[in-house]
A = this chain, B = another copy of it.
Amino acid sequence: MNPLALSNQLCFRAYALSRHITAMYQPLLKKLELTYPQYLAMLVLWESDGVSVKQMGEQLMLDSGTLTPLLKRMEEAGLLQRKRSAEDERVVHISLTDKGKKLKSKAAAIPGELQKCMGFSAEDYLEFMQVSARLLKHKNV
């Protein structure tokens, strides 16, 4: 086996799969007027409204260089508000607007639609989640 062959690269497979999934989401998210990273931010907020930028960054594994402009665009779209904390002025809390909260019911259909159009089974889902968790485990080199 040639270790430099593209088809043998775990890295390329993960990269291609991620972009493929994002592409599958795109038509579904267009209805909500969200990009894929914006959808991920909404998932965090629907679970834990009011998180700080740092907390969101920890969940999504993204830094402020990515999140600050993304959240500003979402604020302009009327989905959320950014407010600096009174107790600790370094912290910015993100809270959903009514518009942002209402979007959740529309989004509820998305996971099912995606599974249908990607055509994977519950077993594939589980196996992928397990093996990818193992690959993500060793983070501190």
Contacts and interface: CB of A to CB of B under 8 A. Distances in A.
Interface string A118-141: 111000110111011111111101
Interface stretch (A21-29, A73-81, A83-91, A94-102): A21-29
A4 B120 contact: no
What is the count of identical protomers in the complex? Answer: 2
User: Could you say which interface size class chain A belongs to?
Assistant: 35 or more
Nearest to A61: B16
A68 interface: no
A15 to B, nearest CB: 5
A133 B9 CA distance: 12
Given A4-B46, A129-B10, A131-B131, A17 B136 contact: yes
A11 B114 contact: yes
A131 to B, nearest CB: 5
